[in-house]
Amino acid sequence: MCGIAGFISLDGPRERPWLAALGATLTGALHHRGERAAAPWVAPDATVMLACVRLAVRDRSAAGDQPMTSPDGRTTLVSNGEVYASRAPRPEPWPRRTHCDTEFALQQLAGTAEPAPVLAALDGMFALAWHDGATATTTLARDHFGIKPLVYCEVAGGVLFASEPAALLATGLIAPEVDPAEFVLRSWVRMDAADERTWLRGVRALRPAEYLVAGGGRVRTGRYWRPEPGDEPVAAEEIRAAFDRAVDLRSVADVERAAVLSGGVDSSAVFAALHARGVVPRPYVVRYEEGAGGSDSDVTHARLVAARHGVALTEVDLDRRDAVKLVPEVAGRLNRPLLHGAELAMYQLYERIAAEGQVVVYSGHGADEMWGYQDGGYFPVVAPDAPAHLHGRHYLTHRLYPDERPLWGELVTWLAGELSVDMAGVREQVWERVLDEYRALDTLDPVKRGRHHLMRRFLVYVNDMVDLTSAAYTLEDRPVFQDVTLAELAFRCPEHLKSTGEPGSHKDLLKEALGGLLPPSVVRRRKQGFPSPADPSYRAALRTLADEQGMPFGLPEPPAPLRDALGTGELMYLASASAWLTRTGK
């Protein structure tokens, strides 16, 4: 994990000292993402600057520092994340000088006329930027699942990019503007990433499996991968083989390692598979004070997994007072309001992991989106025999919130009215913008389409949250299940095979494939998302914080009936939104 940034001029050379100073500003804003920063690289024609802060995970010598240039001087690259391998590797164009993944990525990409085939074949989690001096083009690329972020904007006759929006703002080249209509839409979709736009006006996010090429005064984007839907039975043995390969690829590191254990199938299987390979990351589990919200269940099952492998489990408690105090700080890190209680718990957990000297963290997120959710517990994935209108425009634009999150819907609708935002227009955009990936997959199977939506929307939201909370403490989170081969198997497999449909069943095919790695109680455990406490004392503390912060955009208090009904989630959202908007000057 690193932080990358740069500037690409679209209208000719710039002053070299200006480019160097800009690079220093960007790396300064990204200092928490790495241990050290080399000097920014400026192209010989002074049209491109690339910069990086490096967290050295593989080959910690200075030979692996970035920006890294090919021996012939043609290609210079900066990389965030890890490129583990290629499923169709090119011959090495020069003998390796390091054993770090940055040089491997440089070897694969150097001199390529078309980046899409090379990017599609890469195994890893990455955000890349490289300049080809022979073609005078600069390319940005993001991994298949959007594990590593990359944001950009057009400023000063060029393209400015970085791993985090805060770095773009630090340059002073863009203003921290928030469009009320975009704010309402993103609050409405809540825990989904809503396409390439962000919470900040003019700042775009490169989407998963997308690349951007700038050169000749023009910018173009392309998509290099999407899963192929199928209806071909997949055996448990094939899944296990792909999982084992994914673990093998991610088992290499030259630093101390940790693992997040939730006591569920995914994180437990990852931990057990690493242990079987002689890699014993230190396991951690997080819970709220006194097990609030049911988080004690995670601890109970995580203890079983750790004990099975004879490893001490570190239990991290987040008490209510600390959780409330963290709200403004975490909102600032995420550059958005808090939309889920997990953000606070993850931030606290990563702080503890980093404080104890760990650098790489293994996790299981991504498995649900590929192998679970058949039971209709997350829209738009619904039972295959559900009425057709449940997959339609009317439900998405008019019934989703009244049926599933009525209080949240009422609050956001009230905010829209106060901000003079057309709520009907927002609902239409939910269909046109947010769910285009639901319709994009070439299949009529609504559940398969829903899975694609989950991967391209909800999982990207999770990945962004994980990246920003872990990067705050200079950690690299490795989600093993977000592997291209595993994902292609998941989309090839008929959806009805993934779960028996019995009450409480979940990810049955995955459990069959990985069951030998797990205690029986973990295999039998019902699916449980990370809980949020809802007790009166926590709600009261959030109410006090929300009152102290004031309403977003300086709005008046909601009507008394709505205000009195707000729960912990809504109060956390309001307090964090106000804190974040105040920092942006709104």
Span 275-318, pLDDT tens digits = 999 999 999 999 877 655 556 788 999 999 999 999 999 999 88
Work out the pLDDT band at 554, boundaries 50, 70, 90.
very high
The whole-model pTM stands at: 0.94
For residue 196, give both structure tokens.
């390439």
Mean pLDDT across the stretch 29-48?
96
pLDDT at residue 365 tops 80: yes
Q: Does residue 527 carry a pLDDT above 80?
A: no
Given a cut of 80, is residue 262 above it in pLDDT?
yes
Where residue 372 falls among pLDDT bands split at 50, 70, 90?
confident
The closest of 149, 171, 147 to 159, measured between CA atoms, is 171
pLDDT-derived band at 574 (thresholds 50, 70, 90) equals: very high
Residues 6+ apart with CB under 8 A from 195: 207, 433, 434, 436
Residue 287 has a pLDDT of: 86
Burial 337-364 (b: 16+ CB within 10 A, else e): bbbbbbbbbbbbbbbbbbeeebbbbbbb
Tokens of 275: 């242990």
Look up residue 506 and give its amino acid. H
The two tokens of residue 322 are 């600390």
pLDDT classification of 429: cutoffs 50, 70, 90? confident
Are the CB atoms for 55 and 35 separated by under 8 Å? yes
Comparing C-alpha atoms, which of 448, 459, 464 is closest to residue 391?
448
Spatial separation of the C-alpha atoms in residues 201 and 40, rounded to whole Å: 27
Quote the CA–CA distance of 146 and 464 in Å, as a whole number.
8
Query: For the segment 431-469, what is each residue's pLDDT rounded down to a tens digit?
Result: 788 778 877 888 878 778 888 888 998 899 999 999 999
Q: Which residue in 455, 444, 428 sits closest to 391, CA to CA?
A: 444
Decide: 67 and 76 in contact? Cβ < 8 Å.
yes
In order of their start, the domains of the chain are: 2-223 (3.60.20.10), 236-373+446-524 (3.40.50.620), 388-427+535-583 (no CATH)
> What is the average pLDDT across 544-559?
96
Average predicted confidence (pLDDT) for the chain? 90
- The whole-number pLDDT of residue 116 equals 97
How would residue 385 be classed by pLDDT, with cut points 50, 70 and 90? Answer: low
